[in-house]
Structure 1
């Protein structure tokens, strides 16, 4: 795989994710990282590259504020069995994925009637595709942190799926990151996204499962 270990890929994902979302710098912990996200639905998140039951239980039982998340790289059923009262799985099942980037590989062409715009600001490149009538069709963004990049918030509107727009977004983002010197990319995928990314050469490194503190 492009990374030497899953832990290395997790660190790259965390570093790029905070740039993409404008979150605080990750705070190093004995078990991983804490990120202050600063939104009502996600105040902060704890990321555990190598989660185990005693560590998850200790963090969860010492967290009383609603809106704090745990991100782990174990299957949903494993994490769910470790959670105390007041916690629940959140975000659905996911996957940590990675790929190598190639600066010489052009993005695929866009279907007729659609138009694409991309722009970069504060280390993040964003891609927006609009339909012929100007409506939103698809989007995505990528944050470059040195030799690695993190793809984030890729979305295609339901009315515009199965037209190759997701591939265009991913190809455009990959080309932009490679042009900035990134050689490896990582992302967190949903099951639906995984199918798209695997056709573009991405590989699954580990399951990605989240939980959220919901009540006192």
Structure 2
């Protein structure tokens, strides 16, 4: 079983690379990053939810002290206990069902795009960008990966509504894995939504932990 703290830190580094974010800074029990995303300006990541449950209480207080919109993201193998602690600390959930997942990129099944779709891969520094173009030139699917050491973090995997159920997401994941392995990565990491988890499991990804996301009540 993967070491959860190490795995999550590797995910955060790759996620930040994928989005060209500044480095996160350590805080007591976790990390804090000024991420400036559409849904929040700051994100705090818990690193010890399972071995030190009280750390979540302290991180909730840090969240409460933020002057900008902020999330507390908690990877855990004991989601019910962690959720109860967060609720007792007065937080509400953005999500309780996301999953931290991993795979060996070298063994991920291969899925190709079928005509008339065309796939493009671009690697710029630590970022892999894959896009699938439809016959009319519009973007049908896309995805990114942030490269950090021997890990690649898949991020922002999206298929346009009109082009779903055509295995385009799987083709994007194949292309991301191919580019990452070429760059020296062997380990794939991601945080997947409920909808995405089915796709990733079909490609051999396994769940490392549940990911809870909480914020202050509106």
Q: Same fold (TM over 0.5)?
A: yes
Distance change in 2, residues 1:71/1:111 (3 Å):
same
Distance change in 2, residues 1:202/1:27 (3 Å):
same
Which residue is equivalent to 1:147? 150
Distance change in 2, residues 1:105/1:214 (3 Å):
closer
Which residue is equivalent to 2:140? 137
Any conservation in 2 of the 1:76–1:89 contact (CA below 8 Å)? no
The correspondence of residues 45-124 of structure 1 with structure 2, limited to 5 A, is 45-51=43-49, 53-62=53-62, 63-64=64-65, 65-74=67-76, 75=79, 78-79=82-83, 81-83=85-87, 84-85=89-90, 87-91=91-95, 93-102=97-106, 107-124=110-127
Which residue is equivalent to 1:23? 21
SS in 1 for 2:9: helix
Q: Are 1:35 and 2:37 an aligned pair?
A: no
> Shift of the alpha carbon at 1:78?
3.9
Q: Are 1:163 and 2:166 an aligned pair?
A: yes
> Shift of the alpha carbon at 1:57?
2.3
- Normalized against structure 1, the TM-score is what? 0.88
- Unaligned residue ranges in structure 2 (runs of 5+): none
Where has structure 1 moved over 6 Å in runs of 4 or more?
A: none
Distance change in 2, residues 1:43/1:181 (3 Å):
same
CA RMSD of aligned residues (A): 2.2
Any conservation in 2 of the 1:67–1:214 contact (CA below 8 Å)? no
- Normalized against structure 2, the TM-score is what? 0.87
Separation (CA, whole Å) in 1 of partners of 2:59 and 2:46: 10
